[in-house]
Amino acid sequence: MYTRGIRGAITVDANEELPILDATIVLLNEIVAANRFQPEDIACVWVTVTQDLDATFPARAIRQMEGWELVPLMCSMEIPVKGGLERCIRLMVLVNTEASQSEIRHVYLGGARVLRPDLSGA
């Protein structure tokens, strides 16, 4: 068994609570679907947001998902690099799995596809 990191990112159109929470759920659900794991397999989820997203904690959305109540979650701010992608939520999901590194599927949605076009099919 290995602990693997699964990356994902998504952008939102507005710094508002519902778009942030909804986008977080969409992103996590896509990561789960692409990698076929259960919350019990998760070591932790690290959530970051760009500085222009301060309307809510994205981890609130994950904590309300069935089965995710006990998964350790942490939110923080991204480094504010000039010219960096705006209104972006990023996830680092650490999962215990038998999957090899090459079998892990990272997920980049919306405007975040530009971050890793090699992984997002952009």
Strand order from edge to edge, sheet including 107-108? 73-77, 42-49, 88-97, 2-11, 107-108
Is residue 108 part of the annotated active site? The answer reads: yes
Please give the distance of CA 18 from its chain centroid, rounded to a whole number.
Answer: 16
Determine which one of 60, 105, 113, 116 is catalytic: 116
Determine which one of 4, 87, 88, 108 is catalytic: 108
Residue 118 C-beta-side C-alpha neighbours within 13 Å: 1
Determine which one of 30, 78, 105, 113 is catalytic: 78
Is residue 75 part of the annotated active site? The answer reads: yes
Determine which one of 2, 36, 63, 103 is catalytic: 63
Determine which one of 60, 75, 105, 113 is catalytic: 75
Determine which one of 4, 87, 88, 90 is catalytic: 90
Is residue 63 part of the annotated active site? The answer reads: yes
Is residue 78 part of the annotated active site? The answer reads: yes
Which among 57, 30, 32 has a CA at the least distance from the CA of 112? 30
Catalytic residues: 7, 63, 75, 78, 90, 108, 116
